[in-house]
Amino acid sequence: MDGLLSAENLQWRERARKVAEEIVRPNAAKYDKLQEYPWEIQRAMKEAGLFRVWIPKEYGGAGGERILNLCLVVEELSRACGGVGVMFAVNALGSFPIILGGTEEQKQKWLPKIASGETLMAFCLSEKGSGSDAFSMRCRARRDGDTLVIDGEKKWTTNGGAATLYTLFAVTDPKSKSKRISGLLVEKGTPGFSIKKVEDKMGIRCVPVVETHFKNCRVPASAVLGGEEGFGFKHAMSTLDLARPGVAAQALGLAQGALELALVYTSRRRQFGQRIIDFQAIEHMIAEMGTKIEAARQLIYATARAADKGLENISRMSAMAKLYATDVAMEVTTNCVQLFGGYGFMKDYPIEKYMRDAKITQIYEGANQVQKLVISRAFKKDATLLESLLSRYIPQETQYCVDDMAPEQAAAFNVPAVKE
């Protein structure tokens, strides 16, 4: 389907593929075992200019179709290692709030450094008691003259420790219902800011996920995202709409990479006198997996193109892409482990890592159950809009036949019982 991509798209994909095949794939198992940040891979990404891909041109970035190109890069990296895919993509997640809502001063200060790979990012939103329900966060930032004092902690901070700049969301006005939360930019090394627990994870083990703690941590008022308090929740939700196609692309790369490994293995493995890829049951599995992967790819690319065109209300498409692609990734990677048989369960083979890495994609940046809520609420709004167009084809009242229903049962269901 390369004909559907521009020369620019293909250039970014090939640049990412070169890093993925030459640097990432040979080192994926090592860093998965060590659970250490792969600085040599980060340097390779930096040298290849990959961090420029989502940054606007006026701030040292590549410009062009920034979100689609980001998805292509993440997909290629994730084909080789899902952990490296998120290690790269989390920098976009952390910097999107600056792109979407930062002041011109904040953009000029930070975006060129992010584009060059000098500044690495992290995104501090979730807490122990507030994951999907981000609005109920408890981390506080109170105004004290020309500074804000942060107290609290964040959970699941991806890239924590490696990152040099943290986009933090904290409560600045507990009494407000709409402007309760603000975004803050906190630099590594700020007094009162520390990294605590480093999580021991099932997958994506090469990128650190940590607890970030803030105790009497002072930042200047210029660190408030956008220069004005109270817009943090809006910035966070807009960021997730823009970042979820990247999570979907990570899932897509994992599914594609797992299928490719399974194709090679099933072509080599022989049972009952023939290659197992030639058994009809296996052929059907491959056909179904390939179809779902391609469907996910086109949904992701369409969503990314919509974001690049600046279309409003992409929440539904973004949620659909994340939901579908990550469910496909989990299904495909699990099936590919099955195709490897007993060998698939062993760490001697790379396939089990794909399944471990895929699982988190269904959970972070909004669990898939939350994505279903986002999607269904969008359809509920459609129902209101469709009422005037389609209501004349649907009777206003529907008479139910409940001959065998007792009067009290009919009352419970709010339908009339049929009388003789």
Q: Interior CA angle at 314 toward 258 and 378, to 5°?
A: 100
Kindly state the DSSP code that residue 309 receives in the 8-state scheme: T
Average pLDDT score over the chain: 94
Which tokens in the block code for residue 360?
């988190």
pLDDT of residue 387: 81
Confidence of residue 1 (pLDDT cuts 50, 70, 90): confident
**Closest C-alpha to 243, from 97, 354, 126:** 97
Helix axes 104-116, 82-101, angle to 10 degrees: 160
Lowest mean pLDDT of 166-170, 222-226, 361-365, 387-391, name the range.
387-391
User: How does pLDDT run across 15-70, given as a tens digit for each residue?
Assistant: 999 999 999 999 999 999 999 999 999 999 999 999 999 999 999 999 999 999 99
Across 6-146, the runs of DSSP E, i.e. the strands, are 121-124, 140-144
Which tokens in the block code for residue 325?
């692609």
Task: Calculate the dihedral angle through the C-alpha atoms of 132, 135, 140, 143, rounding to the nearest 10 degrees.
Answer: 150
Average pLDDT over residues 412-420: 49
Annotated active-site residue 331? The verdict is no
The Cα–Cα gap between 305 and 320 comes to: 14
Which tokens in the block code for residue 171?
């409560």
Fold equal for 122-231 and 234-381: no
Candidates 365, 397, 408, 420; catalytic one: 365
The yes-or-no verdict on residue 108 having pLDDT over 80 is: yes
User: How does pLDDT run across 235-248, given as a tens digit for each residue?
Assistant: 999 999 999 999 99
CATH code of domain 2-120? 1.10.540.10
pLDDT of residue 418: 46
Report strand pairing: 270-271 vs 274-275. Answer: antiparallel
CB 247 within 8 A of CB 89: yes
Kindly state the DSSP code that residue 310 receives in the 8-state scheme: T
The Cα–Cα gap between 119 and 196 comes to: 21
Average pLDDT over residues 391-409: 61
CB 227 within 8 A of CB 103: yes
Lowest mean pLDDT of 69-73, 127-131, 181-185, name the range.
127-131
**Closest C-alpha to 332, from 391, 263, 237:** 263
- Fold of domain 234-381: Butyryl-CoA Dehydrogenase, subunit A; domain 3 (1.20.140)
Tell me if residue 197 falls in helix, strand or coil.
strand
pLDDT of residue 402: 47
The yes-or-no verdict on residue 400 having pLDDT over 90 is: no
The yes-or-no verdict on residue 420 having pLDDT over 60 is: no
The yes-or-no verdict on residue 312 having pLDDT over 90 is: no
Average pLDDT over residues 369-397: 86
pLDDT of residue 177: 87
Percent of the chain with pLDDT over 90: 87
User: How does pLDDT run across 118-172, given as a tens digit for each residue?
Assistant: 999 999 999 999 988 888 999 999 999 999 999 999 999 999 999 999 999 999 9
Percent of the chain with pLDDT over 70: 94
The yes-or-no verdict on residue 417 having pLDDT over 90 is: no
The Cα–Cα gap between 6 and 22 comes to: 24
Q: Is the model more confident about 240 or about 406?
A: 240
Confidence of residue 419 (pLDDT cuts 50, 70, 90): very low
Domain parsing of the chain, residue ranges: 2-120, 122-231, 234-381
The residues facing 214 across adjacent strands are 152, 193
The yes-or-no verdict on residue 410 having pLDDT over 70 is: no
Max CA distance (Å), the chain: 84
- Fold of domain 122-231: Butyryl-CoA Dehydrogenase, subunit A; domain 2 (2.40.110)
CB 333 within 8 A of CB 358: yes
